Homo-oligomer: A and B are copies of this chain.
Amino acid sequence: MLESTLARNSTTPPYKSSCMTCSFRELCLPVGLEDEEIELLGKLINHKFKVRRGEFLLHAGSPFKSLYAVKNGFFKTSVLKADGRQQVTGFYMTGELLGLDAISLGKHAGDTVALDDSEVCEVPFNKLEEIGRSIPLLMSQFHKIMSREIVQDHSVMMLLGSMRAEERLTTFLLNLSDRLSKRGYSSTSFILRMTREEIGSYLGLKLETVSRSFSKLQEEGLITINNKHVTLNNIDALNRKIGDAVY
């Protein structure tokens, strides 16, 4: 809190806005904007803060004021089930927007927790809507991002509704691989930031089933798994594994 207040009050050096210099602007809200427009957007983001591993960014029920763009790091979102346990609804990495589900009810439906030391850019939502009126492309990009969230949720629904354990896990790994490669990381070798239980919660499986499925994929030679370190040995074969899924 103190830190951010200081940051806001300190005179900004003759320096491009935060969005302008962000290496991930091609993945985030600024997509397609002119330089001056990105400057404007950057001025919205007067809070930019760190969230350490295990810390909450957002609590269920807290009032909605801002969206949060992930600058770096990794987050999970979860909602509270009737029985008191959490269900993971998504994992978020660099350039992705957190808090979209809160717009409708004016409060956050679930918790958002950092799974790795992270940094986020706070985007006050009323201001985003405000400057969106003068920057049509920004508004369009925002709509595309919301729509993308819906599309992704639909594909998760498809996964949960019609795939079995191994296929779900394979889909999950390929999705991570794809998103990581878009951000300049290896598509074949990466670290899982979440636990087996969190993966299971997201995929509608018990942690033991996740573990067994990992082992099975490894036996088949498709992946190598060592604790949290995964290597995809044959992405084509993994893709075929999903495509062939005939029920």
A residues adjacent to B (C-beta < 8 A) = 79, 81-83, 85, 87, 89, 100-105, 109-110, 129-130, 132-134, 136, 139-140, 143-151, 153-158, 160-162, 201-204, 242-247
B247 engages A83 (CB within 8 Å): yes
Q: Are the CB atoms of A242 and B82 closer together than 8 Å?
A: yes
Q: Which residue of B lies closest to A201 (CB)?
A: B161
- The listed residue (B100, B204, B247) touching A161 by CB distance below 8 A is B204
Closest chain B residue, CB of each to CB of A102: B147
Pick from B160, B202, B244: contact of A204, CB below 8 A. B160
For the residues of A in contact with B, the DSSP-based class is helix
Closest partner residue, chain B, to A105 (CB atom): B151
User: What distance in Å separates the Cβ of A194 from its nearest Cβ neighbour in chain B?
Assistant: 15
18 A-B pairs with CB atoms under 8 Å apart are A79-B158, A81-B245, A82-B243, A83-B246, A87-B157, A87-B158, A89-B158, A101-B150, A103-B143, A103-B144, A104-B145, A104-B151, A110-B154, A130-B136, A146-B146, A153-B157, A157-B157, A160-B161
State A101–B144 Cα separation when bound (angstroms): 9
Docked-complex contact B154 and A150, CB < 8 angstroms: no
Report the nearest B residue to A82, measured CB to CB.
B243
Which of A79, A83, A151, A243 is the most central at the interface, judged by chain B CB atoms within 10 Å of its CB? Answer: A151
A154 touches B245 (CB 8 A): no
Q: How near does chain B come to A43, taking the closest CB pair, in angstroms?
A: 19
**Which one of A82, A105, A110 has the greatest number of beta carbons of chain B within 10 Å?**
A82
A83, A85, A104, A155: most-surrounded residue (chain B CB, <10 A): A104
Residues of chain B lying within 8 A (CB to CB) of residue A203: 161
* CB closest chain-B residue, reference A87: B158
CB pair B161–A101 under 8 Å, yes or no, is: no
Query: Which B residues lie within 8 Å of A139 (CB)?
Result: 129, 132-133, 139
Structural contact, A154 and B89, CB atoms closer than 8 A: yes
A103 to chain B, nearest CB (A): 4
Residue of B nearest to A84 (CB): B246
- 16 other contacts beyond A83-B245, A100-B146, with CB at 8 A cut-off? A79-B154, A81-B162, A82-B242, A83-B244, A100-B147, A101-B147, A101-B150, A101-B151, A103-B143, A105-B147, A109-B154, A129-B140, A132-B133, A150-B150, A153-B154, A160-B204
